[in-house]
Amino acid sequence: MSADTKVVVITGASQGIGEGLVGGYLARGYRVVANSRSITADAYGGEVLAVAGDIADPAVAARVVGDAVARFGRVDTLVNNAGIFLSRPFTEYTEADFIRKVSVNLAGFFYVSQAAVRQMLAQGGGGHIVNMTTTLVGQPVRGVPSALASLTKGGLDAVTRSLAIEYADRGIRVNAVAPGNVKTPMHAHDPLDALAAMHPLGRMGEVREIVDAVLYLESAAFVTGETLHVDGGAHAGHW
């Protein structure tokens, strides 16, 4: 492997958008470190370093970055893709719901991002972090109660800009992608026509369209602190 070969860490990488991101970065010639709770060592035919475990656990987060450095010598990009969505009326969320959302969506960002930034700084600076949020942060939808998504993914949206400013002079860019409804296994049992109708363009997004957005940000060296909406126009307002 060339010393110039870049290395990306992707969380939530076993299916859906995460699986698409693995393929997208491999096609770009990156070495890929993929994490999820259920991922197996032989995932992706051995092309990828798979690190299983709950990314909300600080020990797992440290291991993901540590294994990346041990195998490939560096970390250039982190895509914080792991996350969950629970839609319930606000007063019906349980304590368990709250703890689970905060654990996956916030702790699952916090520890691995800290470890990745420390590694990027140790390499002399430079790097990229992409956070996966949701269009519902900026444009809630009546009939889709999403308070915990706003609370947690909204935090990721805000911290994207905060970290972009904090580390701009060290060459570390921080961006976010805010998808609408995307055709993934998460929606396997949902009414797809109704989900499509939530977007002005009248359809759901495809995994490849989210991957394209992340890869655009990867190449956009003059872009940082940006939240890129890939939501069929849903963020633009009511229609």
pLDDT tens digit sequence for 166-207: 999 999 999 999 998 888 876 666 677 877 877 888 888 899
pLDDT digits (tens, 9 = 90+) for 126-149: 999 999 999 999 888 888 888 999
d(Cα 222, Cα 147) in Å, to the nearest integer?
A: 33
C-alpha 176: how far from its chain's center? 8
CB atoms within 10 A of CB 96: 8
Is 30 within 8 Å of 77 (Cβ atoms)?
Answer: yes
Counting residues of the chain whose pLDDT is more than 90, the rounded percentage is: 74
Residues 6+ apart with CB under 8 A from 70: none
What SS3 class is residue 114? Answer: helix
Quick one: pLDDT band at residue 73, thresholds 50, 70, 90? very high
| pTM reported for the whole predicted model | 0.93
What are the E-state strand segments in the chain? Answer: 7-11, 31-36, 49-52, 77-80, 127-132, 172-179, 227-230
Q: Which domains does the chain have, with CATH numbers?
A: 7-230 (3.40.50.720)
What SS3 class is residue 171? Answer: coil
Comparing C-alpha atoms, which of 97, 204, 84, 198 is closest to residue 143? 198
